[in-house]
Structure 1
Amino acid sequence: MLLDTVEHETGPNPEWCVLWLHGLGADGNDFAPIVPELVRRDWPALRFVFPHAPVRAVTINGGARMRAWYDIRDFDLANRADLKGVDESVAQVEALIAREAERGIPPQRLLLAGFSQGGAITLAAGLARAQPLAGLIALSTYLPMPLALAQQRLQPQATAQPLFMAHGSFDPVVPVAAGEAGMQALRGFGFDPQWQRYPMQHQVCAEEIADLAEWMGARLAAG
């Protein structure tokens, strides 16, 4: 079954899609308010799709049930992600990408974005894309699997996808060193990420939104 989503179209008959994944414990409404801050007047019409992650038990939160893209088993980043949950969420994201193709927006006009846990799924999905997307956006996140496993899943065509990664220098949830390690690993695989650091914690800021808008504008202009 397809995930439930919140959708916002910036104009009639959108030809582009931004599929945006929220962080742990949030839902699809979390980043919907960013649309008017992000969108520029000269952009073509876009459909923003904000899915709700499934509700599941999260180990580090005492087994409490909440919206999560995967279980977080440990505070140690090397053992943090439940890979079965990661794979399930990647499959659900792929189903949404396929639905957009059915609605007239092919993968080459779809940007996949995510914050924190959602960003981890964005990176995991991006690695395995045999048909490149228009771009990947990974905010305040990390690569949710060991490097050897990531390299096994890497599709040769995937490295053609433009990649925007950003992180807060004072992030207490996902340390900036973890984000940088993921960025360097992806660079080693052949990606060419644009990496940005901001003086913030586990959040987004106005400067980051402005930089992301510039990056997205370049992807839209490239067509």
Structure 2
Amino acid sequence: MDAIIVEPPKQATASVIWLHGLGANGNDFEPIVPELPSEITQSTRFVFPNAPMRPITINGGMVMRGWYDIEAMDLTQRQDITGTKDSQQLVDNFIGQEMDMGIASDKIILAGFSQGGAIALYAGLRSAHKLAGIMALSTYLPFADSLPEERHPANNDTSIFYGHGDFDPVIPVAQGEQSYRLLSTLGYQVAWHNYAMEHSVYPEEIKDIGQWLVKCLS
């Protein structure tokens, strides 16, 4: 499977599968690994999958790496269920690959930024494998209406890290807050973090992510 993989110096006992945003690639978040606590990076494998190349309607049909098509500025309108489910299957395959390599599912973190974060939430909350945690950065909850029926009880108590920028022009913080409230209403253990940033990742956020990873994987 197509991914950038960062192996730890010691034998891997945990994995982080981290999905990039629209138009980026698996190299996007690789530089963050050295900034995380050594107690995590010493024995955690980081997997950064590359999304498939696909035409993106909102970008004039330009072909780029994307986890699903986007047809409207309002991300909750005309959502691409086919692309989303295809990416859910890709995520399931990556989880299965890590399990085949000896990593227990409850030592696997599913993470994503922007469009990748939407897939992390969609796939993670529907996964039959108990995960260590789900990290959703600068994103929203796709197909929120179907989640109550499609959610899998395996991850009802899974820790969710939700980070968002107060000045995000791509996915407004209000949309992130709405998704956070819905997840909380459904009983999920969501830790909300907002930062004085736009559609990006902030040093303070990386510090908080590191502390959360330690908590989830200890």
Within 1, Cα distance between the matches of 2:63 and 2:38?
40
CA RMSD of aligned residues (A): 1.1
- In the other structure, the counterpart of 2:169 is 172
Unmatched segments (≥5 aa) in structure 1? none
Q: Provide the rounded CA distance (Å) in 2 between the counterparts of 1:157 and 1:130.
A: 6
Give the Å deviation of 1:33. 0.5
Instruction: Please say if residues 22 and 118 of structure 1, whose CA atoms lie closer than 8 Å, have aligned partners that are also in contact.
Output: yes
Name the CA distance, whole Å, in 2 between partners of 1:60 and 1:42.
Answer: 42
1:183 maps to a residue whose letter is Y
**Is the contact made by 1:167 and 1:198 (CA closer than 8 Å) also made in structure 2?**
yes
Please give the alpha-carbon distance, in whole angstroms, between the structure 2 residues aligned to 1:126 and 1:42. 24
User: 3-state DSSP class of the match of 1:151?
Assistant: helix
Paired position in structure 2 for 1:92: 90
Give TM-score, length-normalised by structure 2: 0.96
TM value normalised by structure 1 = 0.94
2:182 equivalent among 185, 198, 211: 185
Give yes or no for contact 1:170–1:201 (8 Å, CA) kept in 2: yes
| 1:161-205 deviation per Cα after TM superposition (whole angstroms, max 9, x unaligned) | 110000000000000011111111111111010000000000001
Q: CA deviation at 1:80?
A: 5.3
Q: Which amino acid aligns with 1:219?
A: C
Instruction: Identify the residue that residue 65 of structure 1 maps to in structure 2.
Output: 63
Aligned to 2:28: 30
1: CA distance, partners of 2:22 / 2:76: 18
One of 116, 129, 132 as aligned partner of 1:131: 129
**Unmatched 5+ residue regions in structure 2?**
none
Q: Which runs of 4+ in 1 moved over 3 A?
A: none
